[in-house]
Structure 1
């Protein structure tokens, strides 16, 4: 997708579309370039857009760092 500005209305439409939620909890929308969109219940914070490779990579890096740190504490 080009670097065009996406309207808040379009973002809300994506957020409310059940086809963009796997099992109702995992956000997956290739059209949405945000790494961390709001959760299904927006007051609970943000989630990962699993269709964005950058957000998945960042999530894996964080998990690996936490695993390495937990091993060094033992």
Structure 2
């Protein structure tokens, strides 16, 4: 994982610096996911490069992916 300062990595920005990276809905789902699985596992299991070139279509797909993960974890 990146060094850990603001702007170094989307996951750190959301979880540690309370920055909005994607949009409020996505960021909230990422925070909720972090309650179920470790930060390291989140880091490894998601393609974070989308944060740097997000489009409306990519954001929609990302929300679907996050939602599916949350539904699976909630059981």
Q: TM-score range by the shorter chain?
A: under 0.3
Would you tell me which structure has more strand in proportion to its own residues? 1
* Larger of the two Rg values belongs to structure: 1
Under a length normalisation based on structure 1, what TM-score does the superposition of the two structures give? 0.28
Higher relative contact order (CA 8 A, sep 6+): 2
| TM-score (normalised: structure 2) | 0.28
